[in-house]
Structure 1
Amino acid sequence: MQGDGEVLFLGGVGEVAVTLGHDGLSFLPLHPELGSSCLSSIGLLPKLENKIKFSDVYAVELLDEGPVCGPWNTRIVVQGKKNSEMHRFAVHVITRSRKHPSQLVPCEYLFGHKDPETCKSLVEHLSACINNEQDRPKNLMVFVHPLCGKGRGCKNWEMVAPLFDRANVNTKVIITKRAGHAYDTLASISDKELKKFDGVVAVGGDGLFNEILNGLLNSRNKTSYPPTPEGFGYFGSTEKCQGYKNDGLNNSTPTSEAVNVMLPVGSNKSDDHEPLLSTGQSVGLDISSLNPNTESSTGDQVPSVSFPNDWFRLGIIPSGSTDAIVLSTTGERDAVTSALLIIFGRRIALDIAQVVRWKSSPSAEVLPTVRYAASFAR
């Protein structure tokens, strides 16, 4: 739509000229005198804006024919009808709360037109523009802790689930039944199944997030152990230790036969960044081969999923007793804010530390205990 744009009816405002640009939708009231002294009826919107950025839109819905209210305390005739039934569509956006600036609030613009094809065409165009936002997830695995925070897990998921449905984000929901349920599920899931998802979401507290993190990494992280403490031998034979290969960047990574073998003390492995895991570039991972949208070049063979990589993400919807991870990232202990950030694919850098508890003696025939802990880089 160029020039004056298409004339639509906007709820709470009246007739507007709508124009689509490369980064959003703009509208200009045709009768500003009717709405200049009245409050906007746009749901939950604290301030009327005359431009909607695609980056702030999380969903567009084609609605059934129904009423669209005009400006408050006015009765006007629009498009041949007196403020009555018309074909409608809703544009769902986010705005900032005035009382809590770090909190996101969902709101909607309700548009109407007498022609159903006009509404349908606009919805298709807007949906295509939103789908061009590449970082937004399409498929998520969701773990819900039903007992955390005095039962807030299920309540919070019931509250935010409609947001994911409206945004066309597919979710596979698993209600945890015991401690370690999320860990066992992710540790045992096949790479083929895991690659169907863009990420995993925890609806719970810090403990559930920790379960998910360790379930993903304990069986898939290919980074070797930190150097053995002085005076300790390494577990396994010399042949297994030779299973470590050098990737040309002075970072040794284990082969599949030597994942659980510790490096000898005299190894030339650089430990400048230990115990933090290296980035995808520093360990020589081919990120494109790990992307679920990239077809394998070897027919039906599914590339293994290893970490770190650029496409998989972790999310958390706060429902625990402390929610320290969420407070340190979003600054707001609000389930709706976290859900919207996940839907938009917003990211923050995540440092993962490998915590190793060594054997009690060099001769002990047990592997060290390995756990992973997360902190967020600012």
Structure 2
Amino acid sequence: MDRPGRLLLLSELCVRNVAYDVALSRFLLTWKRRVSSPMYRPFRPSLSHSVPVSEIISVREEDKESGSRRKDDSTWKKIKDGDGTDCRKSFTVSYVERCRQHRWRCAEVTFTCTEGALCQTWVSSIREQLASISSRPRSLLVYINPYGGKCQAKHIFEQKVAPLFAQAGISTHVIVTDYANHARDHLRTDAEINKFDGVVCVGGDGMFSEIIHGLVWRTQIDCGVDPNCPDETLSPCSLRIGIIPAGSTDCICFATVGTNDPITSALHIIVGQSQSPSTAAHH
């Protein structure tokens, strides 16, 4: 795990009405339960959590409507200002949670502040740190093979992947392929690849092969290299390729992330985690 780095923010915030010391550095978001006195359960370790900033998916400020829907019981003590209005402010951090068998999931924690200004400071500070991560994609070209596997690729993307991309602030241009090698041919001639940070294929190993062949060809043409000449030295492609498994075989995806779970793959793409082909081959 990354070293803590210089502290950017430190505040006492609440999680489910329990006080925590919450700290933000360039590398870590940490929240540690406060202990009211030395005599308070001395043999019970204080609860502490930490998340690498690189694995934060998003942060959002909660509006008053969502806050008013919280259960108002005796454990929730309202904080009011002089005119009696509720002045609590909350923000929610979504982050990667590692599960069994190499699977990743999206977890959330909501912090409550006593002041709106403090809440906005936290939200803007976390967003600044996320924006500074250059490896994260901002715009993706997505190809979906609707016929591969069990013909579930379009459904998988729309129901499981697209909401995560939107939550992370990633814009997508989606093309549903109509025939074999549609993605390859589009990449060769029509795709405006300079507008994107990466290409994502939703399908199986055949779809991945199409993307590879299309990008290799297009890169050579754009660099003035003849892709049909065996004596030419091929130019490397700077675009990264993401795979959302939705085919009958997903060997390449399993070899890179350890599972053929589409949510896990989507989260890897969001946080900008990548592997070289040689690394993937030995994974």
| Alignment TM-score, normalising by the size of structure 1 | 0.61
C-alpha distance in 2, partners of 1:51/1:261? 53
Q: Which has the higher helix share?
A: 2
| Alignment TM-score, normalising by the size of structure 2 | 0.80
Question: Is 1:260 the equivalent of 2:228?
Answer: yes
C-alpha distance in 2, partners of 1:318/1:22? 32
Question: Is 1:9 the equivalent of 2:37?
Answer: no
C-alpha distance in 2, partners of 1:3/1:201? 35
C-alpha distance in 2, partners of 1:3/1:175? 44
C-alpha distance in 1, partners of 2:201/2:241? 8
What residue is the counterpart of 2:90 in the other structure?
A: 88
Residues 2/333 of structure 1: CA separation in 2 closer, same or farther (3 Å cut): closer
What residue is the counterpart of 2:161 in the other structure?
A: 160
Query: How many residues matched?
Result: 261
What residue is the counterpart of 1:110 in the other structure?
A: 110
C-alpha distance in 2, partners of 1:333/1:259? 33
Residues 8/217 of structure 1: CA separation in 2 closer, same or farther (3 Å cut): same
What residue is the counterpart of 1:249 in the other structure?
A: none
Q: Percent identity?
A: 30
C-alpha distance in 2, partners of 1:132/1:162? 23
Shift of residue 85 of structure 1?
Answer: 8.3
Shift of residue 111 of structure 1?
Answer: 1.2
Q: Any idea what SS the aligned residue of 2:110 has? A: strand
Is the CA contact (8 Å cut-off) linking 2:7 and 2:26 kept in structure 1?
no
Residues 139/255 of structure 1: CA separation in 2 closer, same or farther (3 Å cut): closer
Question: Is 1:308 the equivalent of 2:236?
Answer: yes
Is the CA contact (8 Å cut-off) linking 2:9 and 2:24 kept in structure 1?
no
Shift of residue 49 of structure 1?
Answer: 4.3
- What are structure 1's unaligned runs of at least 5 residues? 37-47, 223-253, 264-268, 270-282, 284-305, 352-374
Shift of residue 95 of structure 1?
Answer: 1.5
Shift of residue 333 of structure 1?
Answer: 1.0
What residue is the counterpart of 2:44 in the other structure?
A: none
Shift of residue 78 of structure 1?
Answer: 5.8
Is the CA contact (8 Å cut-off) linking 2:8 and 2:24 kept in structure 1?
no
Letter in 2 for 1:122: W
Shift of residue 101 of structure 1?
Answer: 3.7
Letter in 1 for 2:93: V
What residue is the counterpart of 1:376 in the other structure?
A: 281
Residues 180/22 of structure 1: CA separation in 2 closer, same or farther (3 Å cut): closer
Is the CA contact (8 Å cut-off) linking 1:4 and 1:17 kept in structure 2?
no
1:231-276 alpha-carbon deviations (Å, 9 max, x no partner): xxxxxxxxxxxxxxxxxxxxxxx965x553445xxxxx9xxxxxxx
Letter in 1 for 2:281: F
C-alpha distance in 1, partners of 2:162/2:273? 18
C-alpha distance in 2, partners of 1:339/1:187? 25
Residues 29/255 of structure 1: CA separation in 2 closer, same or farther (3 Å cut): closer
Letter in 1 for 2:236: P
Q: Any idea what SS the aligned residue of 1:320 has? A: coil
1:307-341 alpha-carbon deviations (Å, 9 max, x no partner): 414x4101100001111111111111100000001
Q: Any idea what SS the aligned residue of 2:91 has? A: strand
Residues 91/307 of structure 1: CA separation in 2 closer, same or farther (3 Å cut): farther
Is the CA contact (8 Å cut-off) linking 1:90 and 1:110 kept in structure 2?
yes
Shift of residue 175 of structure 1?
Answer: 1.2
